[in-house]
Structure 1
Amino acid sequence: MVDIGEATVRRITWRLMPLLCLLYLVAYIDRQNVAFAKLQMVGDLGLSEAAYGLGSALFFLGYCLFEIPSNLVLERVGPRLWFARIIGAWGLVTLALGFAWTPTSFYILRFLLGVAEAGFFPGVLYLLTLWFPQKERAQAIGQFMIASALANAVGAAIGGLLLELDGVAGLRGWQWVFVATAVPALLLVPVVLTRLPRSPAEAPWLTDPQKEWLAATLAEEGTTREHANPLRALGDGRVILLCLAYLGLPLSAYGLSYWLPTIVRGFGVGNATNGLLNVIPWLGVAAALWWLPRRAASSDGFKRFIVGPALVGVVTLILAAALPSPALQFAALCIAAAAIFAGQPFFWVLPGRFLTGGAAAAGFAAINSVGNLGGFVAQSVVPKIHDATGSDLAPMFFLATMLGLSGGAIVLIERRIPR
Structure 2
Amino acid sequence: MKLEEPALCLAVIATTDGIRERTYRKVTRRLIPFLFLCYVLSMLDRINIGFAQLQMKHDLALGDATYGLAAGAFFIGYLLFEIPSNVILQKIGARKTISRIMLCWGFASAAMMFVRTPVEFVCLRFLLGAFEAGFMPGVFLYLTYWYPPRRQGRVIGAYMTAAVVAGLIAGPLSTNIMTRLASVLGLHGWQWLFVCEGIPSVAVGILAFFYLTDRPADASWLTDEEKALVEGDIALISSTWDRPVEAGWYDVFRQPKVLILGFCSFAAQAGSYVIFFWMPQIMKSTSHAGVSLIGLYSMLPYAAAIVTMTFWAAHSDRKMERRWHFALAVLTSTAGFLMVIANPGSLILTTLALTVAAAAVMAAFPVFWAVVAVALPPTSLAAGLALISSLGSLGGAFSPALIGFVRESTGRIDAGLYIVMALMVIGSLAMLAVIPRQIVRRE
Q: Where on the TM-score scale, by shorter chain, does this alignment land: which range?
A: over 0.9
Question: In the alignment, what sits opposite 2:334?
Answer: 314
1:385-411: per-residue Cα shift (whole Å, max 9, x none)? 212331256543333222112111111
1:120 to 117, 130, 135: 135
3-state DSSP of counterpart to 1:380: helix
Question: In the alignment, what sits opposite 2:117?
Answer: 102
Question: In the alignment, what sits opposite 1:3?
Answer: 18
* 2:410 is the alignment partner of 1:374: no
Query: Could you tell me which amino acid in structure 1 is paired with residue 273 of structure 2?
Result: Y
User: Which stretch shifts more, 291-300 or 404-413?
Assistant: 291-300
1:152-186: per-residue Cα shift (whole Å, max 9, x none)? 11111111112202211110011111111011101
Q: TM-score, normalised by structure 1?
A: 0.96
Contact 1:314 1:404 in 2 (8 A): yes
* 2:433 is the alignment partner of 1:412: yes
Question: In the alignment, what sits opposite 2:12?
Answer: none
Question: In the alignment, what sits opposite 1:243?
Answer: 262
**Structure-2 separation of matches of 1:175 and 1:286:** 29
* 2:301 is the alignment partner of 1:281: yes
Question: In the alignment, what sits opposite 2:40?
Answer: 25
Question: In the alignment, what sits opposite 1:363?
Answer: 384
Question: In the alignment, what sits opposite 1:61?
Answer: 76
Contact 2:71 2:125 in 1 (8 A): yes
1:342-379: per-residue Cα shift (whole Å, max 9, x none)? 01111112222243445211000000101100111011
Contact 2:403 2:413 in 1 (8 A): no
Query: Could you tell me which amino acid in structure 2 is paired with residue 15 of structure 1?
Result: R
Closer, same or farther in 2 for the Cα pair 1:252/1:76, shift >3 Å? same
Structure 1 position 300, deviation (Å)? 2.7
- 1:319-338 paired onto structure 2 within 5 Å: 319-323=339-343, 325-338=346-359
Q: Which runs of 4+ in 1 moved over 4 A?
A: none
3-state DSSP of counterpart to 1:3: helix
Structure 1 position 283, deviation (Å)? 1.0
Structure 1 position 65, deviation (Å)? 0.5
- 1:159-198 paired onto structure 2 within 5 Å: 159-164=174-179, 165-198=181-214
Contact 1:228 1:360 in 2 (8 A): no
Provide structure 1 residue ranges, at least 5 long, that are not aligned to the other structure: none
* 2:149 is the alignment partner of 1:134: yes
**Structure-2 separation of matches of 1:126 and 1:212:** 20
Contact 1:261 1:274 in 2 (8 A): yes
RMSD, aligned α-carbons: 1.6
Contact 2:316 2:367 in 1 (8 A): no
Give the paired residue count: 419
**Structure-1 separation of matches of 2:149 and 2:366:** 12
Structure 1 position 256, deviation (Å)? 1.7
- 1:76-87 paired onto structure 2 within 5 Å: 76-87=91-102
**Structure-2 separation of matches of 1:161 and 1:398:** 34
Contact 1:72 1:358 in 2 (8 A): no
Provide structure 2 residue ranges, at least 5 long, that are not aligned to the other structure: 1-14
1:58-85: per-residue Cα shift (whole Å, max 9, x none)? 1000000000001000110000011110
Query: Could you tell me which amino acid in structure 2 is paired with residue 342 of structure 1?
Result: A
**Structure-1 separation of matches of 2:71 and 2:334:** 24
Structure 1 position 416, deviation (Å)? 7.2
1:208-240: per-residue Cα shift (whole Å, max 9, x none)? 111111111111111223656333333211111
Query: Could you tell me which amino acid in structure 2 is paired with residue 355 of structure 1?
Result: L
User: Which stretch shifts more, 165-174 or 390-399?
Assistant: 390-399
User: Which stretch shifts more, 351-360 or 84-93?
Assistant: 351-360
Question: In the alignment, what sits opposite 2:223?
Answer: 207
Contact 1:57 1:377 in 2 (8 A): yes
Structure 1 position 200, deviation (Å)? 1.0
Closer, same or farther in 2 for the Cα pair 1:179/1:393, shift >3 Å? farther
Query: Could you tell me which amino acid in structure 1 is paired with residue 302 of structure 2?
Result: W
User: Which stretch shifts more, 63-72 or 378-387?
Assistant: 378-387
Q: TM-score, normalised by structure 2?
A: 0.91
Question: In the alignment, what sits opposite 1:264?
Answer: 283
**Structure-2 separation of matches of 1:331 and 1:374:** 24
Query: Could you tell me which amino acid in structure 1 is paired with residue 222 of structure 2?
Result: L
Structure 1 position 305, deviation (Å)? 0.8
Query: Could you tell me which amino acid in structure 2 is paired with residue 334 of structure 1?
Result: T
* 2:161 is the alignment partner of 1:146: yes
Structure 1 position 6, deviation (Å)? 1.1
Question: In the alignment, what sits opposite 2:412?
Answer: 391
3-state DSSP of counterpart to 1:274: helix
**Structure-2 separation of matches of 1:115 and 1:188:** 19
3-state DSSP of counterpart to 1:132: coil
Contact 2:64 2:408 in 1 (8 A): yes
**Structure-2 separation of matches of 1:307 and 1:250:** 13
Contact 2:297 2:351 in 1 (8 A): no
**Structure-2 separation of matches of 1:220 and 1:211:** 14
Question: In the alignment, what sits opposite 2:6?
Answer: none
**Structure-2 separation of matches of 1:300 and 1:289:** 16
User: Which stretch shifts more, 15-24 or 383-392?
Assistant: 383-392
1:348 to 351, 369, 376: 369
> Once the two structures are aligned, what percentage of the paired residues are identical?
32
Contact 1:95 1:179 in 2 (8 A): yes
Contact 1:122 1:364 in 2 (8 A): yes
Query: Could you tell me which amino acid in structure 1 is paired with residue 27 of structure 2?
Result: I
**Structure-1 separation of matches of 2:282 and 2:207:** 37
* 2:168 is the alignment partner of 1:157: no
Question: In the alignment, what sits opposite 1:403?
Answer: 424
3-state DSSP of counterpart to 2:145: helix
**Structure-1 separation of matches of 2:349 and 2:60:** 34
